[in-house]
Amino acid sequence: MEAFKVSTHLSSLISSYPDAKHLVDAAANGGQLSRMAIARLWLSEGIPFAFKDRPALYESVRAWLGTRLDVDPKEIHVTGSARIGQSLAPHKIGAVFGSHSDLDLFVVSQALFDQMKADFNRWSYQFEMGEVKPSNEREKGYWTENIRRGPELMQRGFLDSKLIPNREAYPIIMNIAQTMWMLKGKLDVTDGAPIIKSASIRCYKDWGSYARQMAISLA
């Protein structure tokens, strides 16, 4: 009988909220298998740092979001500094989660991904045909870049809701935007809830797409 093997690069990560630099070092030196393990365990499972003192509140938030977004609460997760307590972004590694931070959520749902994809395709077609117009030149620049990036991201199995304008013609995106605004408002008036700057959602079509993207980011 052969014993289980654990990468030496992961053995030092014994906390649910490891130091960001230690996690990044393990990802850099442990290879693809270590990066996939970090993505699955430390970056998606368990109680997020932002809710470590009130885990039941995290479940209440997920249940509410599940109703609003028509997904199973189990499909809703937290990422970013709110997950492990520190940022993994290259330009601010180790920055501690606080009131200046965003609450970055992700959903793993084929159904929601397909709905967001439909809104994206409708918007990009209408924009290119001149049926919908940006408010100003700055917004036009964002829209042009988002249309360029969108198909690549969808090919990789995920989509950020903020890529698509919050307008009535795109009901799924409009509902997500309203839900994120309401989420911040509800957290602001909830005792013991994390104080956040804003909230956002990324949707993955499946867990494989999530793990692959996280492994790429860690690399």
* pLDDT tens digit sequence for 154-202: 999 999 999 999 999 999 999 999 999 999 999 999 999 999 999 999 9
Residue 106, strand partner residues: 77, 202
Cα–Cα distance for residue pair 8/31, rounded to 1 Å? 11
| Summary mean pLDDT of the chain | 93
* pLDDT tens digit sequence for 88-105: 888 888 889 998 999 999
Where are the strands (E) in the chain, listed by range? Answer: 76-79, 103-108, 158-160, 199-204
Q: Is-contact 170 123, C-beta < 8 A? A: yes
Cα–Cα distance for residue pair 213/219, rounded to 1 Å? 10
Cα–Cα distance for residue pair 160/173, rounded to 1 Å? 10
Q: Provide the 8-state DSSP code for 89.
A: -
Does residue 219 have a pLDDT over 90?
no
